[in-house]
Amino acid sequence: MKTLNFTFPLHRNEVVAMLQQYKISPTRQRVEIAEFLFQRPQHLSAEKILEGVINEGKRVSRATVYNTMGLFAQKGVVREVLIDRERVFYDSNPQAHQHLYNVDTGELSDVYDVNVGITSEPQLPQGLRIIDTDIVYKVTSK
């Protein structure tokens, strides 16, 4: 994932420039989705993004949101955080960080300045290399 360098919130012209930087055609729907997502660092499901964009008075379909978020994740505009098969969050925070998922509340939050020591890498088949690692700490109340 490229490292984005910006200050929240992103305004329409900044959203368009960012999408173009990632070679994504800035259609009206994509821009409106990105404007909503990049208001602040946040973790949202596609359903919450759909709800938020519609609440802002914009017209966008469920399929468009899911397809757009898939494209944004594929191109590296957002980080896709997989909790399990039924829970996927899209992270608008471009800084390097880990995540804390509260199983009790369903809330995903950022964790910074955690020194995670990996003592060895897995033995990979020849010709492969690790390009990224996501760490999600799943927690519950004691």
The number of domains in the chain is: 1
Closest CA relative to residue 32, chosen from 58, 6, 8, 51 = 58
Q: How high is the pLDDT of residue 97?
A: 87
Residue 36 lies inside a defined structural domain of this protein:
yes
The predicted structure's pLDDT at residue 117: 67
SS (H, E, C) 107-142: EEEEECCCCCCCCCCCCCCCCCCCCCCCCEEEECCC
Give the domain extent around 80.
Answer: 12-91
Q: Establish if 46 belongs to a structural domain.
A: yes
Mean pLDDT for 111-124 is 77
Residue with the bigger pLDDT between 119 and 103: it is 103
Confidence (pLDDT) at 114: 66
Dist. CA 136–CA 63, nearest whole Å: 27
Domain assignment present for residue 66? The answer is yes
Question: Does some domain include residue 98?
Answer: no
Read off the pLDDT of residues 21-65 as tens digits, 9 standing for 90 and up.
Answer: 999 999 999 999 999 999 999 999 999 999 999 999 999 999 999
CATH of the domain at 33: 1.10.10.10
Lowest mean pLDDT among 31-35, 97-101, 105-109, 130-134: 130-134
Percent of all residues in the chain with a pLDDT value above 90, rounded to a whole number? 74
Q: Is there a domain that residue 102 lies in?
A: no
Task: Tell me whether residue 107 is in a domain.
Answer: no
31 near 60, Cβ under 8 Å? no
Residues facing 87 on adjacent strands: 84
Sign of the Cα pseudo-torsion (71, 77, 78, 84, in order)? positive
